[in-house]
Amino acid sequence: MTEKPDAGEFAARRKRAAEAARERGLDGLLVWSDGSIDAFHELFYFTNTTSAFPWVPPNPPLVTGCEHTGLIITADGASTLVASNYVRDDAHVDEVRVNWNLVEELVACVGDLGLGSARLGVIGEVFPYSFGKALERRYPKLVLESADKLSAELRLTLSETEIDLLRAAGRVGIEVVNAAIAQAVPGATEGQFAGAAAARAALEPGCVHWKVMSAAGPFADRFVYDALPTWNPGYVYQEGDPAHGDFFGFVNGYPYDLARSWTVGGDPTPEQQHVYDGAKELSWTLARALEPGISVGELHATGWAMLREWGLRAPLAFGADEDETGEPAPSFGHAVGCGFLPPYLASGGSWEKQTVNPPSAFAFETFVTDGRGNYGGYEDMFVWTESGVECITTG
């Protein structure tokens, strides 16, 4: 069984966050999360807990923000969790305050901690506007500033425990993908394919399957079937259909994130195989390029050069076509740790000059075409330690 971080590791994370906040001239941090799979990781990283509730319309003063959970980290690293009701038994935090009227509790907590005139860095894009306005009304001298990049920088550097958790998540991801592709046979539906992935994930302790994004047959010119759900439940696979799927979820808070392409019921044509192979080669080229101090922009350029060498490009379905001036595709993946996180491997943007170093981990991916009607996607996850680069999603 894979070991999980202990209370000491969570305390060390909060201490590093407090130090980073002080370096930025902040008096503390307000870390915020909701119960959705998309947005629980910032708070989970610091506390090992998040809300179990879905969104519920507020009914003040009885219920406000029951799907949310917040954490205040003061300048000395002390931590106070505010939650509506649910807090995991194995949450690691100094103090817990519970109130169904969560906005009321947050306002009181800020005052009790002497932060009414502080500069607080806010981590978490899901922090509610109404909560911010309530703080502003009660504490007009309080300043809230975005600190999402601080969180991303901290989570980018992994502990040995985190690397082991990623390896374990990768093993689950392989089984999820294999279960789904085994159902992608002529006469089966794409709904059965997506359902097989979810069914396999449901058997795994600590696993929350997030999503399958897929497309096949006449829809294979896009990365994802453009509707809700993100697959076509009624589409019946035909022999020879090109197909691709992107699978992602979390095991004990750490992701599996894989994409694969295949031909339903038979062998791909040589042209299809070239595209499939090229998409995979992009992922592995980027992994082989990892060396201490390489920048995000340099990694992106390496991937783009490889695609051009293979006569491939990234189509509009993945974000942006290569235009007439040769402007590169937007992204070839992202970092992983406790959640999905920057840097995104793209040209331009605030992370382009950021250098990366071990220990860290990445999911390298692309969706490509040869421009002659053949499309393919591929993604693998890699952990990078002082010992080298290891793919954790082969199988």
Per-residue pLDDT tens digits for 99-126? 999 999 999 999 999 999 999 999 998 9
Higher pLDDT, 349 or 153: 153
Q: Cα–Cα–Cα angle for 14, 19, 22, nearest 5°? A: 125
Give the torsion through C-alpha atoms of 307, 309, 311, 317, to 10 deg. Answer: 10
Q: In this model, does residue 293 exceed pLDDT 90?
A: yes
Mean of pLDDT values over 374-387 = 96
User: What is the mean predicted confidence (pLDDT) over 30-36?
Assistant: 90
**pLDDT of residue 61 exceeding 90:** no
Q: Measured on CA atoms in the order 134, 16, 14, 386, is the torsion positive or negative?
A: positive
State the pLDDT at residue 394: 86
d(CA 79, CA 76): 9
The torsion angles phi and psi of 82, rounded to 5 degrees, stand at -115, 130
pLDDT digits (tens, 9 = 90+) for 185-241: 999 999 999 999 999 999 999 999 988 999 999 999 988 887 789 999 999 999 999
Residues 140-192 pLDDT 10s: 999 999 999 999 999 999 999 999 999 999 999 999 999 999 999 999 999 99
pLDDT above 90 covers what percent of the chain?
77
CATH fold for domain 157-391: Creatine Amidinohydrolase (3.90.230)
Count helices and strands in the chain by DSSP H and E runs = 9, 16
Provide CATH 3.90.230.10 ranges for the chain: 157-391
pLDDT at 283: 96
Q: Looking at the chain, which residues constitute the CATH 3.40.350.10 domain(s)?
A: 7-155
Burial level of 90, CB count in 10 A (0-12/13-18/19+)? exposed
pLDDT of residue 57: 83
What integer pLDDT is reported at residue 324 of this predicted model? 42
Please return the burial class of 133, using the count of CB atoms within 10 Å of its CB with bins 0-12, 13-18 and 19+.
Answer: exposed
Please say whether the beta carbons of 359 and 158 come within 8 A: yes
Mean pLDDT is lowest, of 69-83, 149-163, 329-343, for 329-343
Confidence of residue 321 (pLDDT cuts 50, 70, 90): very low
For residue 65, how far is the Cα from the chain centroid? 23
Span 7-155 CATH architecture: 3-Layer(aba) Sandwich (3.40)
d(CA 196, CA 198): 5
Measure the CA–CA gap between 89 and 251, rounded to whole angstroms.
18
CA 232 vs CA 145, 171, 226, 249, 354: distances in Å: 42, 27, 9, 20, 39
Q: Is 80 exceeded by the pLDDT of residue 322? A: no
pLDDT at 266: 86
Q: What is the pLDDT of residue 51?
A: 86
* CA distance to 28, 54, 96, 123, 256, per residue, from 84 (Å): 22, 12, 11, 19, 30
For residues 218-228, one letter each, b for 16 or more C-beta atoms within 10 angstroms of the residue's C-beta and e for the rest, the string is ebbebbbbeee
Note the pLDDT of residue 325. 43
Q: Can you give the pLDDT at residue 39?
A: 82
256 — pLDDT class (breaks 50, 70, 90): very high
Categorize the per-residue pLDDT at 362 as very low, low, confident or very high, splitting at 50, 70 and 90. Answer: very high
Q: What pLDDT is stored for residue 339 in this prediction?
A: 92
List 71's β-bridge partners, or say none: 31, 81
* Beta partners for residue 207, in sequence order: 251
pLDDT computed for residue 318 by the predictor: 44
Reading the block at residue 272, the tokens are 């299809």
CB 32 within 8 A of CB 125: no
Q: Are 264 and 216 in contact (CB under 8 A)?
A: yes
Give the whole-angstrom CA distance, residue 192 versus residue 184: 8
Chain length of the chain: 395
Q: Would you give the end-to-end CA distance of the chain in angstroms?
A: 20
Sorted by sequence, the CB contacts under 8 Å of residue 282 that are 6+ apart come out as 303, 306, 307, 332, 364, 366, 368, 378
pLDDT of 395 reads: 56
Alpha helices by DSSP H, the chain: 7-23, 41-47, 102-112, 129-138, 148-156, 160-182, 190-202, 270-289, 296-309
pLDDT of residue 223: 83
Cα torsion 258, 261, 267, 270: sign: negative
pLDDT surpasses 70 at 12: yes
For the chain, the average pLDDT equals 92
